[in-house]
Structure 1
Amino acid sequence: MSSSLKILVVDDTPANLEVICETLGDAGYEVITAIDGDRALRRIQTNLPDLILLDVQMPGIDGFETCQRLKADPTTANIPVIFMTALSDTDSKVKGFDLGAVDYVTKPFQEQEMLARVKTQLQLWQLTKNLEQHINERTAELKTALDQLHHSQLQLVQSEKMSALGNLVAGVAHEINNPVGFIAGNLQPAQDYVQNLLQLVALYQQELPHPSATLQAAIEEMDLEYLQEDLPKLLISMREGVNRIRNISTSLRTFSRADCDRPIPFNIHEGLDSTLMILQHRLKANEFRPAIEVIKHYGEIPQIECYVGQLNQVFMNILANAIDALEEVTQKRSFENIKTNPNQITIRTQLTDDPQLVQLRIQDNGIGMSQEVKQRIFDHLFTTKEIGKGTGLGLAIAYQIVTEKHNGSLDVNSTLGQGTEFIVTLPVKIQVIY
């Protein structure tokens, strides 16, 4: 990595410049120098470095002022700055970090320590640049995809729009898996390396029970005891975060599973859970209401033969409508009233009296619907929502999927002001006619 990286060293002491340049040069870095802040700022205009080692005490503008000017210029604002100083007081360090420095190297220099700090900050800088580049690339790709989506929006709305969502979710899950796999694959080696380094530090402490004043100052500055305790915890937290992302990715893949040309066995509880995961952002508390409670009563039911992707679309349509109904009732109730009587969605699964039929009930305690609305709820293009908020296709598509594709039934029970319940009845095995 170091062979292509450039470091600007700014120091008014020739002896310091010579030592630092030799150390960094031996490590494979390209080094450029300046003897004061003014020259450094001019040098940067034509020779942009990847990192700056900046002396604090210099004639003319000091290191703090130089750093402030660097951070005020968009061209140089993101270049990492490491201060070099004999000052060890806390105020000076805090001032440097407030101005945007990423680290400190204390004079007189410890070569290995300086190299370690430089290497760490350059690695972080490279990772940041790579991430920014990847984000920009992905943003451009997503913008292109979004433009294409706008062009075909009318056609998608007229067909099964939820299948488009399924394809999008599958693509997102696939894209998540690549970086997550990379991180997960490197976490264990990283944990091993850290453990080895900590063990090595412990051995050094045993061999050198009385370190020099300089080394002791460095130990106290970095709070070595806390670092040894906290670093393994950070890695464990990172592993938990990766596992969380993997669970989300699994839910996305379950929801968007592509259909075969014939039904396959499927655990509908997995489909329900993946759909709830996708809708989690709508279930969370916000400034207008507490979180919507989801109560699950999953019964002992067998896997059923179904078209998985299409059945997940049914779950999405019904649950999204339940959330919409609860959002609407929120406008008529106070926050405290909702807190006392929470918005709820209750999901029940069970076998019917006929063991070849599975029943799913999704009930909300929202606004309910009138008899007139209930009679038209599955009609094509019928909606009670405001213009722009509903197409009238969601429940019509759900009804078609359940009744025509799965030989089941979709019914609704509702009383105005008392909530709504959708009842999906599905055969365990579909009789497919070829």
Structure 2
Amino acid sequence: MSPKGFILLVDDNPTNLSVLSEALSSEGLNFRVAIDGESAIAQAERNQPELILLDVQMPGINGFETCRRLKANPLTTNIPVIFTTALADTDSKTKGFFLGAVDYIPKPFAQEEVLARVRVHLRLKQLTESLEQQVRDRTAALQQTQVQLVQQEKLSALGELIAGIAHEMNNPISFITSNLPPLDEYIAAVCEMLELYAQEYPEPTPTITDAIEALDVDFVLEDMPKILNSLKLGAERIQNLSNSLRTFCRSDSDNKAPGNLHQGLDSTLMILQHRLKNNGDRSSIEVIRNYGNLPEVNCFLGQMNQVFMNLIANAIDAIDEAIAAGKISSVVPQITITTTTDAHNMAVISIADNGCGIPASAQQRLFEPLFTTKPVGKGTGLGLSIAHQIVVEKHNGKLEVNSQPGMGTEFKIAIPISS
């Protein structure tokens, strides 16, 4: 059994080294030699061996101290150590195992015993590494499954909530909007009748005159159309919000469908409108829409809306954090959304802010599940991980970040227009 690396022999006795070297060579095993503990530790740190055969009695630091230092070093702690020694007493063996050794080979050496023990521990090391890799793979798969379950749960709960709100809003909205036109006609008719009355009876009785003055009829007649227009604008705004909610919580089927990404972005901005407004600590965040000529994109629009929600909400958080830290007090807070197509028939959406930026060390881990740059209690570490999964795995696209601390952050999404 040939290891992928080498075995380190540590002994100050040339005869012992010769016997061990001959045994390992006969088996086709690679090895290197060290004649004292210090050089053994230095070699093991530079290039980690598969196994160390370590003599106990050596000049300088002995084998026990060498083993202790190897096990205390993160670079060498997992390397199996087999002691080679003439010390056969129980205390010596117990001390060696306590320090982390996996076995003893007594002197004088029997070649077959040396090879048998070496084979066993090389195989055990390979099995351990294989098991650790399986654990890492299973952990990664479980994390991915967790993210998918959280994403599905969030989408389902959010969709049900928003759909319910939109449905409940529809009835009063419909009632208001359907009654505004006849109300407009009635008010106009009453105003016209009052004007005719004033023309036909230019000298009203004292009682009517007092009532006209108390009511300030001229002001009321002038103000009623303004109130009606305000009601129309308010009803229209609520209707737009209801439409945005329905667009945002659009239920995705099992297959992609052509979707208007601009409509998804606008509906997301409408829902986040309350967070974009002046909040007392900062002025309103200016949203700059640089929309290009973007065709409908074959996608899961409901999931893409969730990506937009996460990225725009994070941009708002970054701006608020920068202002709280006094980093952009003299700059107008801005979020710039740019859409375009590239030469590879990809729809490209850029969401950039002039917030606090992200340190380079954190950028490398941004899309890891459960990693967050936000304070404890203010982030789950799943938003960007879910966004990355939706863009990359569900849409075969790319999600990249470009950020400099103090200069803001840009997230760039690219997904195929047709797939």
Same fold, judged at TM 0.5 (above): yes
Shift of 1:162: 4.3
Tell me, yes or no, if the aligned pair for 2:252 and 2:303 is still in contact at 8 Å: yes
Unaligned runs of 5+ in 1: 1-153
* Deviation by residue 1:283-336 (Cα, 9 ceiling, x = unmatched): 1112211122211111111110111111100000111111111111111117xx
Query: Pick from 248, 257, 260: which aligns with 1:264?
Result: 257
Of the three residues 307, 312, 316, the one matched with 1:319 is 312
AA aligned opposite 1:202? E
1:166 Cα deviation (Å)? Answer: 3.0
* Aligned counterparts of 2:220 and 2:292: Cα–Cα separation in 1: 49
What percentage of residue pairs aligned between the two structures are identical? 52
Contact 1:293/1:342 (8 A) holds in 2: yes
User: Where do 5+ consecutive residues of structure 2 fail to align?
Assistant: 1-146
1:392 shift after superposition? 0.7
Does residue 343 (structure 1) correspond to residue 329 (structure 2)? The answer is no
User: Who wins on radius of gyration, i.e. which is larger?
Assistant: 2
Indicate yes or no: 2:343 matched with 1:353: yes
Residue in structure 2 matched with residue 34 of structure 1 by the alignment? none
5 Å-filtered alignment, 1:357-368, equals 357-368=346-357
Query: How far apart in 2 are the matches of 1:158 and 1:253?
Result: 19
CA contact (8 A) 1:380 1:393 kept: yes
CA distance in 2, matches of 1:181, 1:222: 32
- Tell me, in whole angstroms, the C-alpha distance in 2 between the residues paired with 1:291 and 1:229: 33
Residue 297 of structure 2 aligns with which residue? 304
- The question of whether the paired residues in 2 share the 8 Å contact of 1:160 and 1:397 is answered with no
Q: Which amino acid aligns with 2:389?
A: Q
Tell me the secondary structure at the aligned position of residue 362 of structure 1.
strand
Q: Shift of residue 279 of structure 1?
A: 1.0
SS at match of 2:413: strand
Q: CA deviation at 1:160?
A: 4.5
Once the two structures are superposed, the pairs formed by residues 86-235 of structure 1 within 5 Å of their partners are 157=150, 159-235=152-228
1:420 aligns with 2:377: no
TM-score computed with the length of structure 2 as normaliser: 0.62
Paired amino acid for 1:216: T
Tell me, in whole angstroms, the C-alpha distance in 2 between the residues paired with 1:295 and 1:303: 21
Distance 1:169 1:387, change over 3 A: same
Aligned partners of 1:266 and 1:253: how far apart in 2? 14
Give, in whole Å, the separation in 2 of the partners of 1:313 and 1:186: 36
Q: Which runs of 4+ in 1 moved over 6 A?
A: none
Look up the match of 1:410. 399
- Specify the SS of the correspondent of 2:373: coil
Q: Is the 8 A contact 1:348 1:362 kept in 2?
A: yes
Instruction: Tell me the distance in 1 between the aligned counterparts of 2:280 and 2:184.
Output: 40
Distance 2:415 2:235 in 1: 36
User: 1:369 & 1:353 partners in 2: Cα distance?
Assistant: 29
Aligned alpha-carbon RMSD (Å): 1.9
What is the distance in 2 between the residues matched to 1:155 and 1:403?
A: 13
Match of 2:375 among 368, 371, 386: 386
Give CA-to-partner distance per residue, 1:10-34, whole Å, 9 cap, x none: xxxxxxxxxxxxxxxxxxxxxxxxx
Matched residues, number: 273
Aligned to 2:101: none
- 1:375 and 2:364 matched: yes
Q: CA deviation at 1:259?
A: 1.0
Q: Secondary structure at the match of 1:376?
A: coil
SS in 2 for 1:381: coil
TM-score, length-scaled by structure 1: 0.60
